[in-house]
Structure 1
């Protein structure tokens, strides 16, 4: 990860993270109030139960008074409290869970929407697996905060308050003694948060690295197997997995020390305190058995919610760390370039002009240096040059994937920054060297969620680019399933489908990024026919790998190390006997060698 992305690894303050998480609950405040009232009612019913039993023991059982009607009312009251508590607790739990799922649903939508707005400069440098981990694993951890932690915390805090109210009702002096337990428990919680945040942050980062390695390995499995790198990749994966294990094991040891064992120890001390108090009191005055029972019952009920909260504290810490990572991503300001100014021009002719454009991806090394050229309406401009000469960078800037700091790009005489995103994307058609197909079917990949493109438009686009013959040979025609990245189709078929997808939009400007580089000679003939039709009446900029395919271009730019070193038509550049001439001779010689080899084999 490059330097400008290092801040994405720095944890956010947990207080700020918690406030932002609570803002997501604001739209649900009415249901939260209802759930809270049900929670208070259910908790109150639970707390009143031991008091009724205390009344039964001290007022009826101990003096042996067994009047039927009062005892019936006590029994009925106890059952009513138990049933009402069960119903209200079930209802409030259901409401809290539903609200939690709604909140996490919105959070996932927000983080994915933010990722869609990030510029390509971010995706160029940030590992894909790490990004997927933040959108899936981290949001799943945040979901556990709302589902497993928040409702339990709220419920148990209310319950603890009720327990102390009942304790003060029974015996003020002993209740004050029990209050001393709260600072001790809070101190344990603070110690746990302090140490666990470090371990969980390390765990999340190692999990992201695991996902990044998995994503890279799966996508590059062909290369791994060809070069027999399975053992090395396995060792790298084992190393990262071991680091994740170590971080996780540290958190487990911390949980084992500061969660249940510590609370159980304090609960034993509290029980000793209560029994000692009543034992000492019994020397001077009689002890009410009902009060003793109620106090021990409340003490037991006091530590059960404390244990529940302590056990969920680890989930809380993981969720806070994960939420911080998600919010770091959502706060990242490396956005895709957007429209500037109040004008809303439209692209009518498709004229393109670059004026003294200088560009750098990292802000240090320029990949384009003072580039200037003009393409008139309906003309074809070809870009040629060795790898790294800046051809694709020109395409990226024209598509407004990146912002420029120096120079100007004009479309129909208007700065490219002035166009609306929809206008620019609908009027510029891009065909990449390695076309990307989505899971679905052929019709879906041509239409690509654009409902304005009818079934007739889909078929017309396929026919226009000569894709119909191979589509009609498929078992289900336009409804033939397409797997991930279209791997079940040949490179030529994928390219024809990407042509059809582009032409279905009827763009004014056509941008071709080495569209024939990965296809065989026979398929290239069909693709060249399609390209020739596609270019008619459209301004076209094409990156050319095979110079023989751009002989009819109106203008050819020869790039070298980010600069235009030659410019002219195919014949003019050959007559100059410069870099283009040398590239052409090399390709011609290579093609003749291939032809000779084929003839020899035959």
Structure 2
């Protein structure tokens, strides 16, 4: 894994971030204008106080004092309004840009190949789309624009100070090199601490996501205490990283206060000496003015280090987010072929496939399924049955050979069209935390309630759905936790039916249901298969004896092809599986 630097001066990275500002150009321009105005207004108030003290207070002119007081109040109101507008605009800019970026990231992630998710923790992707994106928004609200404003304010204050009294300004700025050195050391140290914090946040999110999702396994095997201890260690590392960053702040801020006090001490010493001199070299008003300038000068300089690190963390987040966006493992949609109707003739021609380009899980696979036929695939776990389905859907790309549907390479089909015509019912049904209706339609507005009800009746699920509170509007909660395995499986059958596919894939689709439920849906399966090309993956050979063709796979290779009776006569792999399974059933009886 490459080291992420988070270089705050990475112009190329900043340019990419600011691409998302283009739609909000007017907000950005106004933010910059207000930043400049705030920098120019900052030195005015101390100057007015100095003028008031020297020309009105010391001379006892009350009318002038009232006038200057009203002027300063007016200036304070104007400055407050500008500050409010500036804060609102910069935060709006940041959140608007991040909203668009988050949409792009999510859209990109949903189009990545499954191979990418095989090697990337889901918690890490959650961190990229939530926490890291929020640090990018800080580039606008607390980072670059604010840094520019602080630098402009420092320049404006120093310029006014030199204009007021250059000798006094030189005396006051004598400790400044110490502040620059302290800021440099702090900036490097806090950057390292922030990077560690981001890493530990990612680790924490990954651990939480995986273990909350798999909480049933933890409880089944009574691993609560052990997993809790592991979590404590990860959480402790996150705590320690935050404490280290706070420790750097606890050192830096007092150092800045000490240096600021040194400047103030030099001011008092030199100012007092000058006031006592005859004639006066420095007026009391100038001393008061410079006291305010010192406060205004050291505050942005002190915060610059912190804001610079906010900018760097935004760059760290941007680098990580753009690393996801730059991932090339996209499902290539290089086809445009969309016939009015897909017949469903499937042909595998000398297909070789490996998940990691080295260890082939499918080797020289060749077979053909005529439109409307049912083909079954059997074999031991790891034989390559599910891999065959994955490459037919183009979830993964094959290395050698060709797969055709209706005589056309699957690479030439428009990807969404291809997948819409292949309905897959999996053994492990995934249901979203949503209504039954939305889980069936997947929020497809083209599918009506009447179609859903009709499909549910055919599958035999309408009655149980109607008994649920709210019926089809019943919320099944995350992963269908409020439904039984059989009920969830029935919903997956309805989902497949309403999409009216040309090709139906049943991947161990009845292995999770009880005997009664299996009998209930068997008739529905027969109806679902009628007129469609069907591929059935099953361990129980009793469910596939009526298949037109049975393919026996072993270690990624086709060992036998034929119907049930033909394969029994061969007295080979299939016969051994058949005898083993039915002999076991006989023993059980």
Q: Could you tell me whether the CA contact under 8 Å between 1:378 and 1:537 is conserved in 2?
A: yes
Matched, 1:50 2:46: yes
CA distance in 2, matches of 1:44, 1:232: 60
**Inter-partner Cα distance in structure 2 for 1:100 and 1:143:** 4
Specify the alignment match of 2:370 in structure 1.
376
The whole-number CA distance in structure 2 between the counterparts of 1:235 and 1:470 is: 43
Deviations 1:102-143 (A, max 9, x none): 122222222212211211001112112222222222223333
Q: Which runs of 5+ in 2 are unaligned?
A: none
* Equivalent position SS for 1:24: helix
Structure 2: how far apart are the matches of 1:445 and 1:410? 31
When normalised by structure 2's length, the TM-score is: 0.93
- For 1:319-358, what aligned pairs fall within 5 Å after superposition? 319-335=314-330, 337-340=331-334, 344-345=338-339, 348-358=342-352
Residues 404 and 177 of structure 1: CA distance in aligned 2, closer, same or farther (over 3 Å): farther
Which of 275, 279, 292 is the aligned partner of 1:297? 292
Task: Quote the RMSD (CA, aligned, Å).
Answer: 2.3
Contact 1:32 1:96 in 2 (8 A): yes
What corresponds to 2:133 in structure 1? 139
What is the TM-score with the length of structure 1 in the denominator?
Answer: 0.91
- Equivalent residue for 2:507? 513
Alpha-carbon spacing, 1:194–1:172, altered in 2? closer, same or farther (3 Å): same
Q: 2:268 aligned with 1:275, yes or no?
A: yes
1:419 and 2:417 aligned:
no
The match for 2:386 among 385, 392, 404 is: 392
Partners of 1:588 and 1:387 in 2: CA distance: 18
Could you report, residue by residue, the CA deviation over 1:367-413 in whole angstroms, capped at 9, with x for unpaired residues? Answer: 11111111111111111100111111100000110111211111111
Aligned partner of residue 506 in structure 1, secondary structure: coil
CA separation of 1:503/1:185 partners in 2, compared to 1, >3 Å: closer, same or farther?
Answer: farther
Q: 1 CA distance for matches of 2:71 and 2:270?
A: 31
Measure the CA separation in 2 of the matches of 1:346 and 1:285.
100
The question of 1:247 aligning with 2:241 is answered yes
Once the two structures are TM-superposed, the CA of residue 496 in structure 1 deviates from its matched residue by 1.1
Counterparts of 2:418 and 2:174, CA distance in 1: 68
Q: Which residue of 2 aligns with 1:100?
A: 94
* Kept after mapping to 2: 8 A contact 1:46/1:81: no
Alpha-carbon distance between aligned partners in 1 of 2:80 and 2:242, rounded to the nearest angstrom:
37
Alignment match of 1:256 (pick from 250, 258, 263): 250
Equivalent in the alignment of 1:599: none
Q: How many residues align?
A: 585
Q: How does 1:71-90 map to 2 (within 5 A)?
A: 71-90=65-84
Residue of structure 1 in register with 2:150 after alignment: 156
CA 1:385–1:203: 2 relative to 1, 3 Å: same
Note the C-alpha offset of 1:519. 1.1
Q: Deviations over 1:424-481 (max 9, x none)?
A: 1221111111111111211111111100111111112212222212222223221222
- CA shift, 1:179, in A, is 5.7
Distance in 1, Cα, partners of 2:376 & 2:187 = 61
Tell me, in whole angstroms, the C-alpha distance in 2 between the residues paired with 1:169 and 1:96: 32
User: Deviation digits for residues 348-369 of structure 1, max 9, x if unmatched?
Assistant: 2111111111111112211111
SS at match of 1:320: helix
Alpha-carbon contact 2:183-2:302 (below 8 Å) kept: no
* Superposition map of 1:125-136 within 5 A: 125-136=119-130
Structure 2 counterpart SS, 1:25: helix
Instruction: Classify 1:529/1:12 alpha carbon distance in 2 versus 1 (closer, same or farther; 3 Å).
Output: farther
Q: What's the CA shift string for 1:485-536, capped at 9, x where partnerless?
A: 1111111111111111111111111111110111111111112211111111
Distance in 1 separating the partners of 2:322 and 2:186:
23
Secondary structure in 1 matching 2:417: helix
338 and 182 in structure 1: CA distance in 2 versus 1, 3 angstrom threshold: farther
Distance 1:12 1:85, change over 3 A: closer
Residue of structure 1 in register with 2:36 after alignment: 40
Secondary structure of the corresponding residue to residue 469 of structure 1: helix
Could you say what secondary structure the match of 1:225 adopts?
helix
User: Which residue of the partner structure matches residue 222 of structure 1?
Assistant: 216
Name the structure 2 match of 1:551: 545
| Contact 1:382–1:544 (CA under 8 A) maintained in structure 2 | yes
Measure the CA separation in 1 of the matches of 2:62 and 2:217: 87
Give me the whole-angstrom Cα distance separating, in 1, the residues matched to 2:193 and 2:71. 49
Residue in 2 that maps onto 1:28:
24
Cα distance change on mapping 1:145 and 1:472 into 2, 3 Å: same
